[in-house]
Amino acid sequence: MELKKSADMVINTCMGAKKGETVLIVTDTCTDEMISKALYDSAVDVGCEAILLTMEPREQHSAEPPALVAEAMKNADVVLAPAS
22-28, strands of its sheet edge to edge: 49-55, 22-28, 78-80
Q: How far apart are CA 28 and CA 31, in angstroms?
A: 6
Domains (ranges, CATH) in the chain? 2-80 (3.40.50.2300)
Tell me how far apart the alpha carbons of residues 53 and 37 are, in angstroms, rounded to a whole number: 11
Give, in order, the Cα–Cα distances in Å from 1 to each of 33, 49, 66. Answer: 16, 23, 33
What is the chain's pLDDT, residue by residue, as a tens digit (84 residues)? 799 999 999 999 999 999 999 999 999 999 999 999 999 999 999 999 999 999 999 988 888 899 999 999 999 999 999 988
pTM above 0.85, yes or no: yes
Distance between CA atoms of 46 and 68, rounded to whole angstroms? 26
